[in-house]
Amino acid sequence: MTNARYDEFQLANRHRVGFQTLILVMSLIGLNGYFKASYGIWASPLLESFVLVWIPGMYFAVMSIAKNSYFNGNDYRGPFIVLLALAALMGLFSTVPFIIDKDFPLIENGQLSDRIMGLLVAIISGGISVALLIRRAANRRMLEKEE
């Protein structure tokens, strides 16, 4: 694996954020075990794994983008931002009808409902696309100050 695309500062930031994400994953697994031992099953296995994987994934992506260690300067992020925004809109559109009909219980039978997955997808992809837009604006501002 070659790291020629990233400078040492970016690699150090990626390693730091990766270690923080590892700590977050271990904490979430510990909390999950605590909730299962004291409360019982809090979500279906699919939703549980979705939450345990995507919360650290979103943290890693947003922090890497914020620390400017995710993309090379020559990478074109426009289509990626558009695809994430479309995923966020699809997640919202899959959830909004349930909210409007007032048929959107967050908790069913003492467990987190599976219908919340569309909303979680919207939050995750929307958060990453907003982080990319903010980073893009910050990079443009830095380039304008240099000129």
Model confidence over 99-108: pLDDT tens digits?
A: 787 777 777 8
The parent domain of residue 21 ranges over 8-146
pLDDT at 59: 94
Res 53 pLDDT > 80? yes
Residue 23 lies inside a defined structural domain of this protein: yes
Q: Angle at Cα 92 formed by Cα 86 and Cα 96, nearest 5°?
A: 150
> What average pLDDT does the structure give for the chain?
85
What tokens appear for 83 in the block? Answer: 């695809």
Determine which of 11-20, 52-61, 117-126, 137-146 has the lowest per-residue pLDDT on average. Answer: 137-146
Q: Which residue type does 111 have?
A: Q
Res 110 pLDDT > 60? yes
Per the CB < 8 A criterion, the answer to whether 120 and 51 are in contact is: yes
Q: How confident is the model at residue 109 (pLDDT cuts 50, 70, 90)?
A: confident
Per the CB < 8 A criterion, the answer to whether 11 and 67 are in contact is: no
- Cα–Cα distance between 52 and 29 in angstroms, integer? 7
Strand, helix or coil at 97? helix
Residue 105 lies inside a defined structural domain of this protein: yes
Give the total number of structural domains in the chain.
1
Residue 112 lies inside a defined structural domain of this protein: yes
Residue 2 lies inside a defined structural domain of this protein: no
Residue 3 lies inside a defined structural domain of this protein: no
What tokens appear for 94 in the block? Answer: 């899959």
pLDDT at 1: 45
Question: Whole-model pTM above 0.75?
Answer: yes
